[in-house]
Amino acid sequence: SNRCVTAADILKELEEKCATPTAKLRQISDAMSVEMHAGLASEGGSKLKMLISYVDNLPTGEEQGVFYALDLGGTNFRVLRVQLTGKSAIECQEFAEVSIPPQLMVGTAQALFDYIALELAKFVADESEKFQLLAGRQRELGFTFSFPVMQLSIDSGTLIRWTKGFSIQEMVGKDVVAELAASMKRQGVNMRVSALVNDTVGTLAGGRYGNKDVNIAVILGTGSNAAYVERAQAIPKWHGPHPKSGEMVINMEWGNFRSSHLPITEYDTALDAESLYPGEQIFEKMISGMYLGDVLRRVLLRMAEEANLFGETVPPKLKTQFILRTPEMSAMHHDKSPDLNVVGSKLKDILDISETNLSTRKIVVEVCNVMATRGARLAAAGILGILKKTGRDSLRDGEIPQTAIAMDGGLYEHYTEYRHCVENTLYELLGDEVGKHVKLVLSNDGSGIGAALLAASHSQYI
Ligand code: ADP
Ligand code: MG
């Protein structure tokens, strides 16, 4: 290999290419806001789909009864049921989580949905007496389906395309509710799907239930996306009836945002080219949990190949796509031991790199830091874009409006450095005066509860 290049040189170049100074973040947030306008103006007007959710009323707290939710959109799916009391309270709540066998993510629609419906059937069979379905009523379900969907109504919608590692081509263009309902029927589940919701919309609904200031929801998990409350009059492409509330929740599908201002590196370009959806989900590929670990791997691979970071030979496993997952990256990044023992053991366990010295481990942590910092700062710039678009970053009628942003997703929840960086960057961008009026609130599993609440507010019995 080329002896002239050191890992420190590659690191320095990486830091320069990934830099996100405040001025750059402002350009990115402006671009986000411009694309939001374009996506609302006409169908296909922007890379941002700005999907109409058909949710024009968020939960009020008066919802009552037993409701179910099913959340599909990542590596696991969850089923849950809640008993709502009608006083902004959830009397009881139970859930089950099941992982999705990888072969079902790229198999047939029937295999995937039958698997889900079977788990749902088992869960329903387990319903205890704490849950009181009113006599003569059918159970109702909110279906959180976290992929881009063109909604046709609150309870139907067609899949635009897959993301996050799923790829079942026959499903594209099909009504996902009809598909689920058919599987439920086959598995003997008697339940009506009352609401089809994106996880961001569910998180917004769940967040609003507990906090009236919630107007925006952001997911940072396997993938990334955002939803927010828009004025119906600001949606030129909406030709339906004017909602009474004057508002409509928009599912941005911000994962597909892209801009010439984004700090894209050779590693991003290669990751994109080798991905299931080249050219798509560029923002998501830079900020979300599915991809962060793999960008890290690509940087380490180049350091191994060109600067012998791990010795004379390149560790073969370092060439395996997605071998280094974001939770492992997070564990290495948070290693506070003087010898960086966690980094050492992760490199050994995951990549079969047996001997590493402290300076090598420090470089690995530094690369984690560069990639996580870039992702978190870009996510904060995206949030600023929404605040700008909705005028929540400045005076309105002489006052700065109070905004709460419901945050969910395993990346935000568990990757502490990343979360702190999102928070700090947002307040850095907003400044003290506006910052006082904006809060980030962790809305743990808000999307599941939100979907159940939306099933309640769109019940066939009201
Ligand atoms: P999903 O996005 O699949 O619906 P979650 O919101 O639970 O589910 O997010 C799971 C994702 O969060 C994982 O794919 C992973 O990328 C990320 N994640 C989970 N745990 C951690 C962790 N400890 N550190 C960093 N990232 C994590
Ligand atoms: Mg999720």
- Compute the distance between CA of residue 136 and CA of residue 44 in angstroms, rounded to an integer: 44
Atom 3 in ligand 1: residue holding the nearest Cα? 74
Phi and psi at residue 153, to the nearest 5°: -165, 180
Which ligand has the nearest atom to the CA of 198?
A: 2
The answer, yes or no, to whether any atom of ligand 1 lies below 6 A from the CB of 74, is yes
Pocket test for ligand 1, best of 71, 79, 162, 222 (most atoms within 8 A of CB): 222
Nearest to 255 by CA among 230, 227, 276: 227
The answer, yes or no, to whether any atom of ligand 1 lies below 6 A from the CB of 326, is yes
Structure tokens at 97: 């989580």
164 CA: nearest ligand 1 atom? 3
Query: Would you say 105 and 113 are in contact if contact means Cβ atoms under 8 Å apart?
Result: no
Interhelix angle 446-457/199-210, nearest 10 degrees? 80
The answer, yes or no, to whether any atom of ligand 1 lies below 6 A from the CB of 144, is no
CATH 3.40.120.10 for domain 53-211+445-455: no
Q: Is 213 exposed, middle or buried (0-12, 13-18, 19+ CB in 10 A)?
A: middle
Task: Quickly tell me which residue has 């103006």 as its tokens.
Answer: 41
The answer, yes or no, to whether any atom of ligand 1 lies below 6 A from the CB of 375, is no
Q: Is 323 exposed, middle or buried (0-12, 13-18, 19+ CB in 10 A)?
A: middle
The answer, yes or no, to whether any atom of ligand 1 lies below 6 A from the CB of 330, is yes
- Say if strands 403-408 and 214-220 run parallel, antiparallel, or are unpaired: parallel
The answer, yes or no, to whether any atom of ligand 1 lies below 6 A from the CB of 403, is no
Determine the length of the chain: 462
Pocket test for ligand 1, best of 77, 79, 414, 445 (most atoms within 8 A of CB): 414
Q: Is the pTM of this model over 0.90?
A: yes
Cα(307) to centroid of ligand 2, in Å? 39
The answer, yes or no, to whether any atom of ligand 1 lies below 6 A from the CB of 410, is yes
199 CA: nearest ligand 1 atom? 4
290 CA: nearest ligand 1 atom? 16
- Compute the distance between CA of residue 82 and CA of residue 71 in angstroms, rounded to an integer: 14
- Compute the distance between CA of residue 53 and CA of residue 71 in angstroms, rounded to an integer: 16
- Say if strands 224-231 and 247-251 run parallel, antiparallel, or are unpaired: antiparallel
408 CA: nearest ligand 1 atom? 6
The answer, yes or no, to whether any atom of ligand 1 lies below 6 A from the CB of 414, is yes
Cα(117) to centroid of ligand 2, in Å? 18
289 CA: nearest ligand 1 atom? 16
3-class secondary structure per residue, the chain: CCCCCCHHHHHHHHHHHCCCCHHHHHHHHHHHHHHHHHHHHCCCCCCCCCEECCCCCCCCCCCEEEEEEEEECCCEEEEEEEEEECCCCEEEEEEEEEECCHHHHCCCHHHHHHHHHHHHHHHHHCCCCCCCCCCCCCEEEEEEECCCEEEEECCEEEECCCCCCCCCHHHCCCEHHHHHHHHHHHCCCCEEEEEEECHHHHHHHHHHHHCCCEEEEEEECCCEEEEEEEEHHHCCCCCCCCCCCCEEEEECCHHHCCCCCCCCCHHHHHHHHCCCCCCCCHHHHHHCHHHHHHHHHHHHHHHHHHHCCCCCCCCHHHHCCCCCCHHHHHHHHCCCCCCCHHHHHHHHHHHCCCCCCHHHHHHHHHHHHHHHHHHHHHHHHHHHHHHHHCCCCCCECCECCCEEEEEECHHHHHCHHHHHHHHHHHHHHHHHHHHCCEEEEECCCHHHHHHHHHHHHCCCCC
The answer, yes or no, to whether any atom of ligand 1 lies below 6 A from the CB of 327, is yes
Query: Would you say 288 and 223 are in contact if contact means Cβ atoms under 8 Å apart?
Result: yes
Cα(339) to centroid of ligand 1, in Å? 27
Please report the ipTM that was assigned to this predicted complex.
0.98
CB atoms within 10 A of CB 360: 20
CA 368-372-390 angle, 5° bins: 175
293 CA: nearest ligand 1 atom? 16
Phi and psi at residue 291, to the nearest 5°: -110, -25
- Compute the distance between CA of residue 145 and CA of residue 137 in angstroms, rounded to an integer: 25
- Compute the distance between CA of residue 425 and CA of residue 47 in angstroms, rounded to an integer: 25
Atom 16 in ligand 1: residue holding the nearest Cα? 289
Spell out the per-residue pLDDT of the chain, length 462, in tens: 455 899 999 999 999 999 999 999 999 999 999 999 999 999 999 999 999 999 998 988 888 899 999 999 888 899 999 999 888 788 888 999 999 999 999 999 999 999 999 999 999 999 988 888 888 999 999 999 999 999 999 999 999 999 999 999 999 999 999 999 999 999 999 999 999 999 999 999 999 988 999 999 999 999 999 999 999 999 999 999 999 999 999 999 999 999 999 999 999 999 999 999 999 999 999 999 999 999 999 999 999 999 999 999 999 999 999 999 999 999 999 999 999 999 999 999 999 999 899 999 999 999 999 999 999 999 999 999 999 999 999 888 889 999 999 999 999 999 999 999 999 999 999 999 999 999 999 998 788 899 999 999 999 988
Cα(75) to centroid of ligand 1, in Å? 9
The answer, yes or no, to whether any atom of ligand 1 lies below 6 A from the CB of 442, is no
What amino acid positions are annotated as catalytic residues?
78, 146, 199
- Say if strands 139-145 and 149-153 run parallel, antiparallel, or are unpaired: unpaired
Which ligand has the nearest atom to the CA of 290?
A: 1
